[in-house]
Amino acid sequence: MDSSGWAVGSRLGAVLIAVIVGLVGYAVWTFPSEFSGLSDHAIAELQHAGTSNPVTAVLLNYRSYDTLLEMAVLLLAVLAAWALVGGGVNEVCLVSEVSNPVLRGFVRVMTPLSILVSAHLLWLGDHAPGGAFQAGAILASAGVVLFMAGIDWSHKLPAWLERVLLTIGLFAFTGVGIVLMLTGRSFLEYPPATAKWLILMIEVFCGVSIAAALVSVFLGGRLRSRQTVLKKGS
């Protein structure tokens, strides 16, 4: 493509962007300013949902299929990264020679604190903003920061444990659904009496899996770090 073709293309692109943004903006502008949507239904059913946080109720009760498949999407991303990159630690981090003692000392304090905050958020999700995803993200950030500080905590992780950590959320979620089916209910239809504990159990396992998955994609698809970075062509 010559330069004039590129100029025509970029002008067309700019027009296309302007048209699409204009249309979307117009659509947003003409929305009614008051609209209850599904919130009345969601809040009316809250007493049977096993949680007093409406967002958690939507995520893990009314629309638990979404969350189940979301766990599958996350696992698929890890598997794809595993296949494409094959693990190994990024060259820029995990260089213990350059990591400084202040960073290491800070990380020593922050890691237990992060784990505590993560557990707190998981429990908080029952009645306030929080839940498995937030908890998993904070737990994963603790793991990533450890690597950034040059502390390789996962290279001795057994291969089976790596796989269990990555998949336990999806398996626990599906398992709860299947057990509920065996008791004569439909898939993931929690009985109101035990809904709270089932949701909490699913959230604990999902939180662990989410954290493992996020650390894994950071490390190129493997939770178990490898000291040697794959060289080009190997």
In the bound state with other proteins, the residue whose beta carbon lies nearer, of 79 and 103, is: 79
Place of tokens 């967002």: 55
Residue from 4, 38, 97, 156 in contact with other proteins (CB under 8 A):
38
Residue from 10, 52, 96, 100 in contact with other proteins (CB under 8 A):
10
Residue 70 in contact with other proteins, rule: CB under 8 A: yes
Residue from 4, 28, 44, 183 in contact with other proteins (CB under 8 A):
28
Contacts of 7 (CB under 8 A, 6+ apart): none
For the CB of residue 86, give the shortest distance to other proteins in the complex, in Å: 9
How many whole angstroms separate alpha carbon 125 and alpha carbon 130? 4
How many whole angstroms separate alpha carbon 25 and alpha carbon 84? 39
Q: Is residue 45 within 8 Å of 62, Cβ to Cβ?
A: yes
The two structure tokens encoding residue 195:
């809904």
Binding mask 164-203 for other proteins (x = CB under 8 A): ----------------------------------------
Question: Residue 48 has what DSSP assignment?
Answer: G
Residue 45 in contact with other proteins, rule: CB under 8 A: no
How many whole angstroms separate alpha carbon 98 and alpha carbon 82? 27
Gyration radius (Cα) of the chain, Å: 23
For the CB of residue 80, give the shortest distance to other proteins in the complex, in Å: 5
How many whole angstroms separate alpha carbon 217 and alpha carbon 211? 10
In the bound state with other proteins, the residue whose beta carbon lies nearer, of 64 and 154, is: 64
The residues of the shown chain that bind other proteins, judged by CB under 8 A, are 1, 10, 13-14, 16-17, 20-21, 24-25, 28-29, 31-40, 42-43, 54-55, 57-59, 63, 66-67, 70, 73-74, 76-78, 80-81, 84-85, 131, 133, 210, 214, 217, 220-221, 230, 232
